[in-house]
Amino acid sequence: MKPSLTGIILEELADFLRERGAPSYRAKQITDWIYKKRVASFDAMTDLPNELRAELTAEFDTPKTEVVRVLGSKDTTQKFLFRLRDQNLIESVLIPASPALYGQPSDRRTICVSSQVGCAYGCKFCASGLEGWTRNLDAGEIVEQLIAVEEKSGEKIDNVVFMGMGEPLANLKNLLRAIRIINASWGLGIGARHITVSTSGLAPQIRELANESTQFRLALSLHGATDEVRGQIMPVNRRYPLKVLLEACDYYVAKKRRMMFEYILIAGVNDTDEQARELAKIARRLSAKINLIPYNTVEGLEWSRPSRARQKGFQSILRRHGVVATLRREKGHDIAAACGQLRLQTKQAERELRLSV
C-alpha cells in the first residue's frame, strides 16, 4: 500500500523534492494544500508543475476514506463512520463543548479518534476488544479522521483524544507520526497539550514515550487498583502487572510530566471501598488526577454501572485521601460512552448498512 497523502511530513517531503531537483519551497506549498486548504488530490494543487503532480501521484495514495454515516446532531455527540480504502470500518466521535472535559476549557470541541481497526487487548468491559484486532491504522488514516470530521461538521476541532477503537501504544510508530502532523504548524496546528493518548498500560511503550520529546498528554486506563481486580477485567495486566506498570509510570512521571488515570466504575467488580483506598495510594504515588467513568453497558456483557450513590461514595473516598477525582455525568457528553463502544456500534451500523443497500 502506498503511503497516503494525509500522512506526509514536511521534512520528508522536502527530501523527496530535493532528490527530484524541485525547489524546496514546494514542500510548504504542498503541505498547505493538504493540511490548510485540504484538497484531496495532487491534481487540485494548481500551482505545481504538471510533471511534479504526476510524480507525487505515483508516490502517494490520495485519501479513500469515505464518511458513510453520521449519527447524532450538531449540539450533541456526533459519531462518524468511515469506510477505509480496504473496506474496513472505523468510527470517530465529535464531542461538543463540555464542562470539565479532561480539565480543558468548556468551549472546546473534542474529537475521539481510532488508532486501529479493532483491538487485540480484549478488556472485558470494552466493545472494541470484543471482535479482536484487524490491523493498525497508518498515520494518514488517523489524520484523515480529523480532516473529514471538520469538513463534514463544519466545526473546528480543538482537542484530540486517542480513546476510540484500538490501543494507540500498540501502533506507536504511526501514532507518533500522526501526532506530529496534527501538532505541526505546517500540519493541523493543534497544541500538544490538547492531544491526549489513552493506553491500557503497555509498560515498555510508556517508558519509550518518557524518552521522546513529544509533549502530548498521557492517560492510563487503570480500572482496577490491585492485580486481582485489574487482572479480572484487563488481560493486559497479566503481561504487565501493576508493579511493572507503575514502575514504568514512575519513570514517565519523573522524566516528563503527570499522567492522568481513567477508572471505569463497574458494579460489584471494582467499586469497593478497598479499591478506592488502593486507587488513592496509586494516584498519590504518581500525583495523578482520576477520571471516574460510570460503566456503560455493552451488549453481550453482563456488567452494569453502580448506583449514583455508590459512584459518589467511591469518589468521596478518593477525595478524603487527598486525590483529585472527577466523576463523569451519566449521559450526554459522555466521552467514554461515545468512544468506548466504537466497534460494536460500527458493526451494528455495518449490518444496518448492509440491510439498506
**Catalytic (active-site) positions:** 91, 339
163, 106 Cβ separation under 8 angstroms:
no
Q: What dihedral angle (degrees, nearest 10) is formed by the CA atoms of 128, 134, 140, 145?
A: -30
Q: Which of 70, 88, 108, 122 binds ligand SF4 (CB under 6 A)?
A: 122
The verdict on 296 binding ligand SAH (CB under 6 A) reads yes
Site string for ligand SAH, 180-199 (x = CB under 6 A): ------------------xx
Q: Which of 126, 172, 209, 248 binds ligand SAH (CB under 6 A)?
A: 126
Beta carbon of residue 214, minimum distance to ligand SF4 (angstroms, whole number): 20
Q: Which of 14, 45, 123, 161 binds ligand SF4 (CB under 6 A)?
A: 123
129 binds, among ligand SF4, ligand SAH, none (CB under 5 to 8 A by kind): ligand SF4
Burial (CB < 10 A; 0-12, 13-18, 19+), residue 108, is middle
What are the contacts of 246-252 at 24+ separation with CB within 8 A? 246/282, 246/285, 246/286, 247/203, 248/203, 248/204, 248/206, 248/207, 248/210, 249/206, 249/220, 249/286, 250/285, 250/286, 251/206, 251/207, 251/210, 252/206, 252/207, 252/209, 252/210, 252/218
Q: Which of 34, 48, 126, 149 binds ligand SF4 (CB under 6 A)?
A: 126
The verdict on 200 binding ligand SF4 (CB under 6 A) reads yes
The verdict on 129 binding ligand SF4 (CB under 6 A) reads yes
Smaller CB separation from ligand SAH, 6 or 198: 198
Q: Which of 91, 167, 262, 334 binds ligand SF4 (CB under 6 A)?
A: 167
List the interface residues with ligand SAH, window 326-355 (CB under 6 A). Answer: 336, 339-341
Cα-Cα-Cα-Cα dihedral sign, residues 275, 276, 277, 282: positive
313 binds, among ligand SAH, ligand SF4, none (CB under 5 to 8 A by kind): none
Q: At what angle do helices 273-286 and 308-320 cross, to 10 degrees?
A: 40
Residues making contact with ligand SF4 (CB under 6 A):
119, 121-123, 126, 128-129, 166-167, 200, 221
